[in-house]
Structure 1
């Protein structure tokens, strides 16, 4: 998620109540049907996630190294870095009914993986990376279920909301982004409403 220095520290301390306020996922009551775009949660696969980034999971090939009681696959992925990688952890709450905004990092990839519970990551297609006026489009959004043992690397410019717990009241997940200012946008206030003041509603 987009931030630098103080913003990273804020994200590390993000509480469940803060998260709810940030993402404005209060529901869709009072909105016309034209304002609500409904999407179904998707199982995370390499093919489905490819427009938004890359998937890391246990390969279906022999390990590159092995011992008597262990096996190792390396590398299973890599990131494009030109600054130190900052790591953070988020405590998140259950998936809301809907979301109204997203953020992006046009000059940084983002690594993300759950600790011990499945999470849902809403993402939007990376477009207009050089534009300060770009806004996320509800038609470009998908929401993927990430299981423990899986990870994603979101491509530069991929719009995204915070990840949310799939079926528990809360969950923990780690994320990693380069510690540097982003080339476009406001690191201190990165959230951008969907075009036309629309919302994305999640269907299970």
Structure 2
């Protein structure tokens, strides 16, 4: 015979969950880094004995003008949790001085919805995602590092030939988004 026990749900707070793990609460906590359309809480939790870390990002809506990208030495996964995101990615190209930079000519934009995720291969250039139809948020998991360690150039690198990108994300006739 089984016994049914009723329990009450509690608010997730550091003190209520301490016995079982750690609560991540971003409200009221300043972001560790920010750009024109995004705020990021970097390294808010370590995974795999600290070899990977989780970050949380809040983004504004509308298509921003993208002038720079970063890349990770290992894989990175982007997991939307609120709203649909647009993630712009690119391969690299060498500028006239031989420095590798993100290539705006080959850039692609993908729509990520909650319940989907994008796993970027090592070395893929990417901008901070932005909201497709308004503000959105996402988690990412990447190899542990600091943004300033990436590329020895502060993490963010301008496009080759000083290109800029915009992605108005208009719907196609099938109701999907074509990124143009």
Q: Give the TM bin, normalised by the shorter chain.
A: 0.5 to 0.7
Matched pairs, number: 128
Cα 1:184/1:89, change in 2 over 3 Å: closer
Q: Give 1 or 2 for the bigger CA radius of gyration.
A: 2
Q: Paired residue for 1:199?
A: 164
What is the alpha-carbon distance in structure 2 between the residues aligned to residue 109 and residue 167 of structure 1? 27
Determine the C-alpha separation between the residues in 2 that align with 1:186 and 1:21: 23
Question: In structure 1, what is the equivalent of residue 60 of structure 2?
Answer: 93
- Establish whether residue 140 from structure 1 lines up as the match of residue 106 from structure 2: yes
TM-score by length of 1: 0.54
Aligned to 2:31: 13
Coordinate RMSD, CA, aligned:
3.0
**Is the alpha carbon distance of 1:147 and 1:104 closer, same or farther for their aligned partners in structure 2, counting shifts above 3 Å?**
same
Bigger proportion of residues as helix: 1
Query: How far 1:181 moved relative to its partner?
Result: 6.5
SS of 1:201's partner is coil
Q: Which has the higher contact order (CA 8 A, sep 6+)?
A: 1
Give the TM-score of the pair, scaled to structure 2: 0.61
Unaligned runs of 5+ in 2: 1-29, 39-47, 171-180
Query: Residue in 2 aligned with 1:5?
Result: none
Match of 2:143 in 1: 178
1:34 aligns to what?
A: none
